[in-house]
Amino acid sequence: MIASRLSYRALGIKLAILLVLISFISCKKKDFTDEPFYPDPEPVDTLSGCWEWPISVRKDTALNNLFTRFGGGWTGADGTLSVPLPDGKTLWIFGDTFMGTVRQDRSRAPSGLINNTFAIQDGDQLTTLFSGSPSAPQAFVKPIEAGWWYWPGHGKMNGDTLEVIMFAMRSNGSTMWSFEYAAVDLLKFSYPSISLIERKRLIENPVINYGTCLLEKDGYTYIYGAEKVGLNKWMHVARCPSGSLDQSWTYFDGTGWSADPEASSPSTFDVSEQYSVFENDSKFYLMTQHHILGSEIYLFESTSPQGPFINKQLIFCTPETGGNIFTYNAFYHPDFSTNEEICISYNVNSFDFQDVIRDADNYRPWFVRVRGF
């Protein structure tokens, strides 16, 4: 039943996409290598309808190799949020995850999905965190409500406590692809054991998925979310004093900060369901993928964490997108970025569930590095 959720969910998304397919044009696709698409200072191959000079892009070979796995834990997932840890390690937070064996031809042995996993990266070693047993794995964390499941938000360290936003999901119809946000929960884990020590419900029946991204700045934690209006999505911003997320939040109302969540003002239009906001060289950047599973990844800039975010710039088009294959929810990864070059991931999936069984690389994150923004 869990394995079929991905297939039906994708089918539901596909039907929605068909209604709006004519509203946007896909980029031309190009296979890329470990080297930049074109050298500085002049481009030799600017793709029509995609990014332009001075943007240059290359694969992150180290991370792509790390997440090309054949067994012994995680072998594919979506989500792909990262949190820097105090001992130099990195926490990865994933959504629906495959744990079974991948054959040498990259096909999967029969296995189901579990709704979430965490993973600890220490250099070139990756340790998967899940519940159950290796022969019968289960999601690492589960809501207390029967029939609900967790998909991941972002996280942060607060002293020796790891705090992670998790989205409690539930079915909302008679079909397997019908689901909705049921709650936003805050989970606290001891570190380094990653043992759950506390769970708190922050929002019931959320309209906005606060926690898709967290940003620390000037004594505050900024908490980002998206509000869905039909097929469109709007960015919203809350914040709380630095430290624990278990404090009173205020909400940006367009001019200032209000204690009333209903006063939150939608800002940037057509963000994706999940996105990243980060600081680089004294500017703040919003990075979001096309809001209807398009291949385009955009960057906006601002002088403040709450925006407004302006100067939309196309920085990448995912080359896998086409046919049944789609990509979504690009994220920024601070542990692997510099002021000159940012590391981003995006998730690959298929409208045909058998595609992800025939080829494990059709359901996983890929990583690229972007310069010149």
What's the pLDDT score for residue 16? 42
For residue 111, what are the contacts with CB-CB under 8 A and spacing of at least 6?
3, 98, 99, 100, 101
What's the pLDDT score for residue 18? 36
CA distances from 246 to 219, 284, 332 (A): 15, 25, 24
CA atoms of 105 and 122, how far apart (whole Å): 27
What's the pLDDT score for residue 230? 86
DSSP 256-271: SEES-GGGPPP-SBS-
Phi, psi of 12 (to 5 degrees): -60, -40
Within its chain, how far is the Cα of 249 from the centroid?
A: 23
What's the pLDDT score for residue 177? 62
What's the pLDDT score for residue 17? 39
Domains of the chain, by residue range, sit at 2-371
**CB-based contact 10:349 (threshold 8 Å):** yes
Q: Taking the alpha carbons of 324, 234, 369, 51 in that order, is the dihedral positive or negative?
A: positive
CA distances from 132 to 20, 114, 142, 206 (A): 41, 11, 12, 30
What's the pLDDT score for residue 176? 52
Q: Write out the two tokens for 289.
A: 């993928």
Rg (CA), the chain: 20
Q: What is the pLDDT of residues 65-123, one digit of tens each?
A: 999 999 999 999 999 999 999 999 999 999 999 998 999 999 998 888 999 999 999 99
DSSP 312-356: EEEEEE-TT-BTTEEEEEEEE-GGG--SSEEEEEEEEEESSHHHH
What's the pLDDT score for residue 48? 36
Task: Tell me the CB-side half-sphere exposure of residue 22, using CA atoms within 13 A.
Answer: 1
Instruction: Please list the ranges in the chain whose pLDDT falls under 50.
Output: 1-49
Architecture of the CATH domain 2-371: 5 Propeller (2.115)
Give the pTM.
Answer: 0.87
Task: Tell me the CB-side half-sphere exposure of residue 20, using CA atoms within 13 A.
Answer: 13
Q: What is the pLDDT of residues 195-239, one digit of tens each?
A: 999 999 999 999 999 999 999 999 999 999 999 988 899 999 999
**CB-based contact 210:185 (threshold 8 Å):** no
Q: Which run of H or E residues covers position 158?
A: strand 149-158
DSSP designation for 147? T
CA atoms of 253 and 267, how far apart (whole Å): 9
What's the pLDDT score for residue 175? 63
What's the pLDDT score for residue 50? 84
Task: Tell me the CB-side half-sphere exposure of residue 192, using CA atoms within 13 A.
Answer: 11
**CB-based contact 40:54 (threshold 8 Å):** yes
